[in-house]
Amino acid sequence: MIHARSLTKTFATGRAQPVQAVRGIDLDIAPGELVAVLGPNGAGKTTTMRMLTTLIPPTSGTATVAGYDVVGDSAEVRRRIGYVGQGNGGGHTQRARDELYTQALVYGLSRREARRRTDELLEVLGLRELAARKVSELSGGQRRRLDVAIGLVHAPRLLFLDEPSTGLDPHNRANLWQHIATMRSSHDMTIVLTTHYLDEADDMAERVIVVDHGRVIADDTPDALKSHLAGDRIGLTAPDAAAAARTAELVSHGPGAREVAVHGTVVTARVTDGPRALPGLLAAARESGIDIAAAHVDRPTLDDVFLALTGRSLREETAPKPAAELAPLPGKDA
Partner 1 sequence: MTTPTPAQAAPRPAPADRTTRRGASAPLRDTWIVMTRELRPVLRDPFSLVFSLVQPLVFLGLFGPLLAGSLGGEQVLGGNVWQWFVPAILVMTTLFGTATTGSNLLYEFQTGAHERMLVTPLSRSSLLVGRSLKEVLPLIGQALIVIVVMIPFGFRADVLGAALGLALLAVLGVGLGSLSYGLATAVRKQDWMFWVVHQTLIFPLMILSGMLLPLDSGPRWMQIAATANPLAYVVEAERALFAGDFSSPAILWGWVAALATAALGLALGVRLMNRSAD
- Positions touching partner 1 (CB under 8 A) are 31, 50, 53-56, 75-76, 78-79, 81, 83, 85-95, 98, 102-103, 105-109, 113, 117, 120-121, 123-124, 134, 147, 150-151, 153-155, 157, 182-183, 185-188
- Rank residues 184 and 246 by Cβ distance to partner 1 and give the closer one: 184
Collect all residues with Cβ–Cβ distance below 8 Å to 11 and sequence separation of at least 6: 18, 19, 21
Closest CA to 6 of 46, 48, 36, 39: 48
The CB-of-216 to partner 1 minimum distance in angstroms stands at 23
- Rank residues 162 and 304 by Cβ distance to partner 1 and give the closer one: 162
The CB-of-292 to partner 1 minimum distance in angstroms stands at 50
The CB-of-188 to partner 1 minimum distance in angstroms stands at 4
The CB-of-84 to partner 1 minimum distance in angstroms stands at 8
- Rank residues 76 and 298 by Cβ distance to partner 1 and give the closer one: 76
Please give the biggest Cα pair distance in the chain.
80
- Rank residues 86 and 272 by Cβ distance to partner 1 and give the closer one: 86
- Rank residues 91 and 279 by Cβ distance to partner 1 and give the closer one: 91
Check if the beta carbon of residue 6 is closer than 8 Å to that of residue 61.
yes
HEC-encoded secondary structure of 46-93: HHHHHHHCCCCCCCEEEEEECCEECCCCHHHHHHHEEEECCCCCCCCC
Q: Residue 232 pairs with which residues in a beta bridge?
A: 271
The CB-of-120 to partner 1 minimum distance in angstroms stands at 4
Single-letter amino acid code for the residue at 201:
A
Buried b (16+ CB within 10 A) or exposed e, 271-286: beebeebbeebeeebe
The CB-of-154 to partner 1 minimum distance in angstroms stands at 6
- Rank residues 101 and 197 by Cβ distance to partner 1 and give the closer one: 101
- Rank residues 150 and 216 by Cβ distance to partner 1 and give the closer one: 150
Residue 200 has φ and ψ, to the nearest 5°, of -70, -45
The CB-of-279 to partner 1 minimum distance in angstroms stands at 46
The CB-of-248 to partner 1 minimum distance in angstroms stands at 51
**What is the Cα 51 distance to its own chain's centre?**
18
Q: Residue 211 pairs with which residues in a beta bridge?
A: 216
- Rank residues 186 and 221 by Cβ distance to partner 1 and give the closer one: 186
Handedness of CA 104, 105, 110, 111 (dihedral sign): positive
The CB-of-186 to partner 1 minimum distance in angstroms stands at 3
Residue 76 has φ and ψ, to the nearest 5°, of -65, -40
Given the DSSP bridges, would you call strands 60-65 and 2-11 parallel, antiparallel or unpaired? antiparallel
CA distance 269 to 257: 6
- Rank residues 150 and 243 by Cβ distance to partner 1 and give the closer one: 150
CA distance 20 to 108: 38
